[in-house]
Amino acid sequence: MARPSPELVWDCRCGTGECPTWDEQSEALFFCDIPGGRLHRFHPASGGKTSWQLPEVLGSFALCRSGRVLVCQKQKLMMFDLRTEELTPFAHIEEPIANRLNDGKVGPDGCFWVGTINEGSDGLPSGKLYRVRPTGEVEIKVEGLKNANGLAWSADGRTMYHSDTRGPWIDCWDFDAASGAIANRRRFADVSNEEGRPDGAALDTDGVYWSAGSGMGVINRFAPDGRLIEKIAMPIPNATMPCFAGNRLFITSAIPGDEEKRRAFPNAGGLFAMPVEARGVPIGRFAD
């Protein structure tokens, strides 16, 4: 039986939609528009939509146990209160001026893991992957990245996946949830530009890694051994990240930089969804 095609559920026109995160408590999907600096919330059952405007770019975020949201501005992390819209400083990350915070998620250790992207013209691998503790302490875990992306953890919490969209590659590490230590780095998959460079990702409970194929309009599914086993066609050229929500997969997207493509794909930048049989590994909450 053919897989159902992803359908547009919110024509939100994100410059770059990212970080879709399912909140089981409110049965809502949160996601952000990076260049627009907006945090969005979508309730699938009612179709309800809410947006909050932040003062800077919004690279990624984490839902917190308190109900607040840890948000990544260009090079700083802030706590955002959804009710009062108050922003409180939490941590600062020193990076070259061309770099900004990008893909981030809460790991099995309860810490927020976030990488940086070099948006400068030099293309140097000056990005890093950081681990941010609930106390606000920040430590560098991986260096030499161009565009940190694709964070995901296995269902047992023992393996961490991470990609560099401009590598382009996907690596994995042994992960210690008790200490946050990573070890035994190894190549999970090399991904060509023609297959779709590895952008945001999610892992299902069977160990399949679902990766947005940047520029090629696909979601790539990789088996636990790194084999590419399926390419799911998207109705837009730039899918950015998938997220599991029960029996659905939500997918954020970006508006193409090319004007001709923008005219050809008017729904680019929207939020898409499709039914799936797989179940995703839940994303944790940050203990603020």
- Residues 258, 249: Cα–Cα separation, whole Å: 27
Question: What is the Cβ-side half-sphere exposure of residue 90, based on CA atoms within 13 angstroms?
Answer: 28
Residue 52 CB partners (closer than 8 Å, separation 6+): 38, 39, 80, 82, 85
Answer yes or no: is 249 within a domain: yes
User: What's the confidence (pLDDT) of residue 193?
Assistant: 83
Residue 258 counted as domain residue: yes
Please give the mean pLDDT across all residues of the chain: 96
In this prediction, residue 1 carries a pLDDT of 59
How many domains does the structure of the chain reveal? 1
**Which H or E run contains 261?**
helix 259-264
- Please check whether residue 253 is in contact with residue 268, taking contact to mean a CB–CB distance below 8 angstroms: yes
Residue 194 makes CB contacts below 8 A (sequence gap 6+) with 216
Q: Which of 270, 208, 204 is nearest to 234 (CA)?
A: 270
pLDDT digits (tens, 9 = 90+) for 68-125: 999 999 999 999 999 999 999 999 999 999 999 999 999 999 999 999 999 998 989 9
- Model pTM score: 0.97
Which residue ranges of the chain lie beneath pLDDT 70?
1
Domain that holds residue 63: 7-275
**Domain annotation covers residue 128:** yes
Main-chain phi, psi angles of 9, to 5 degrees: -115, -20
Question: CA of 265: how far to CAs of 185, 229, 247, 252, 253, in Å?
Answer: 39, 27, 27, 14, 11
What CATH number does the domain containing 239 carry? 2.120.10.30
Q: Please say if 11 is a catalytic residue.
A: no
What pLDDT is recorded for position 133? 97
For residue 1, is it within any domain? no
Does 2 fall in a domain?
Answer: no
Q: Of these residues, 33, 103, 164, 199, which one is catalytic? A: 199
> Is there a domain that residue 30 lies in?
yes
